[in-house]
Amino acid sequence: MSTRALFREDAYLTRCDATVTAIDEQGIHLDQTVFYPLGGGQAGDAGTFTLADGTVIAIADTRKAKFEGATPDDAVHVPAPGQEDALAQLAVGDTVSAEIDWAQRYRRMRLHTASHLICAVLPFPVDGCSITTDYARLDLATVEPIEREDVEAKLNALIGGAHGVHTEWITDDEMAARPELVRTMSVKPPMGLGRVRLLRIENVDLQPCGGTHVRNTGEIGALRIAKLEKKSARTRRLVLELV
Ligand SMILES: [Zn+2]
């Protein structure tokens, strides 16, 4: 039931043809997908499956599949409720056209990439992170005061600097030898596939990440810090929104 995670090679793929490998209580499993499953703080994709006869199934969410021997790439697509008639048309072995809600995903890609910039502006360990369509929330382990206007100015300068964003791969062993790359304490690097994906923002940041990102920081567009608060004595919470 393994899934080929096409979004890891190309986050801009909005659609693919795929074969249904299983249908169970978790949802619909495909041999390959452009749908990002909830993980690393980034929300799971929504979208549609279109069957050969034109029937459309709305997908509300995507999660990591749970089964014996599942890898972090194995995804399951969760149908929106109330589609019994459409789902009755679907069988294992069928080909579907799987298409994500791109407007939603692209906002998440912009916000997700912005959260990497935050790591460069505020080089503190991240102990919580959530990337949604509307905001990116990061909890930074620090007791240092954070100046909102200063951070906003530095962030927007990095966005305006139009830095290239690239994916690189290293082996699990190389990753284990470079623990300094791990910024996010609450999110383990996506290991277990024999290789680890690193996200490099040219001249800005390098860290392991399995999420979806834009190709250039210029695509993020203007940002503002919607919230900056003390979450606990040792944690500052920062919420970013697209302007
Ligand atoms: Zn990332």
Q: Which pLDDT score is estimated for 181?
A: 75
Chain centroid to Cα 160, Å, comes to: 23
Pair of tokens at residue 213: 């990102």
- Rounded distance from Cα 173 to ligand 1 centre (Å): 21
Same domain, 137 and 212: yes
CA of 110 to the centre of ligand 1 (A): 10
The CA 209 to ligand 1 mean position distance, Å, reads 5
Q: What is the mean pLDDT of the chain?
A: 92
Ligand 1 midpoint to CA 190 (Å): 11
- Confidence label for 108 from pLDDT (cuts 50, 70 and 90): very high
The CA 102 to ligand 1 mean position distance, Å, reads 18
The predicted structure's pLDDT at residue 188 = 60
pLDDT at 151: 96
pTM above 0.85, yes or no: yes
Residue 197 has pLDDT above 90, yes or no: no
CATH code (residue 177):
3.30.980.10
**Residues with Cβ within 8 Å of residue 47, at least 6 apart in sequence:** 35, 59, 98, 99, 100, 101
Question: pLDDT tier at 63 (50, 70, 90 boundaries)?
Answer: very high
**Across 188-199, average pLDDT:** 74
Centre of ligand 1 from the C-alpha of residue 134, in Å: 16
Does pLDDT of 187 surpass 90? no
Give Cα 171 distance to the centre of its chain: 21
Helix residue ranges, H only, the chain: 84-87, 102-121, 148-160, 172-176
Q: What 3-state DSSP class applies to 194?
A: coil
Banded model confidence at residue 192, pLDDT cuts 50, 70, 90: low
Which residue among 67, 100, 133 closes a domain?
100
Q: What is the distance in A from the centroid of ligand 1 to the CA of 233? A: 27
Asked if the model's pLDDT at residue 186 lies above 60, the reply is no
Tell me which of 85, 100, 115 is where a domain ends. Answer: 100
- The strand pair at 165-171 and 4-5 is best described as unpaired
Task: At 210, give phi and psi (nearest 5°).
Answer: -105, 5
Same domain, 153 and 227: yes
pLDDT of residue 183 exceeding 80, the answer is: no
22 and 52 inside one domain: yes
- Ligand 1: distance of its center to the CA of 185 in Å? 14
User: What is the structure's pLDDT at 71?
Assistant: 86
Q: How would you list the strands of the sheet with 165-171, edge to edge?
A: 165-171, 195-201, 205-208
Task: Look at 145 and 78; give whichever has higher pLDDT.
Answer: 78
190, pLDDT greater than 70: no
What string of DSSP letters covers 25-86? Answer: TTEEEESEESPPPSBTTBPPP-EEEEETTS-EEEEEEEEE--STT--TT-EEEEEPSS-HHH
pLDDT attached to residue 191: 62
- Clarify whether residues 84 and 175 are in a common domain: no
What is the arithmetic mean of pLDDT over 65-75? 90
Q: How far does the centroid of ligand 1 lie from the alpha carbon of residue 199, in Å?
A: 6
Sign of CA dihedral 112, 38, 184, 73: negative
pLDDT digits (tens, 9 = 90+) for 230-239: 999 999 999 9
Q: Pick from 84, 100, 116: which residue ends a domain? A: 100
The structural domain count of the chain equals: 2
pLDDT category, 175, cuts 50, 70, 90?
confident
My answer on whether 64 and 167 are in the same domain is: no
Q: Is 87 helix (H, G, I), strand (E, B) or coil?
A: helix
pLDDT-derived band at 99, boundaries 50, 70, 90 = very high
209 vs 189: CA distance, rounded Å: 6
Predicted confidence (pLDDT) at residue 193 exceeds the cutoff of 90: no
Phi (first) and psi of residue 238, to 5 degrees:
-130, 130
Give the per-residue pLDDT at 201: 95
- Domain membership of residue 84 as a residue range: 4-100
Same structural domain for residues 115 and 78? no
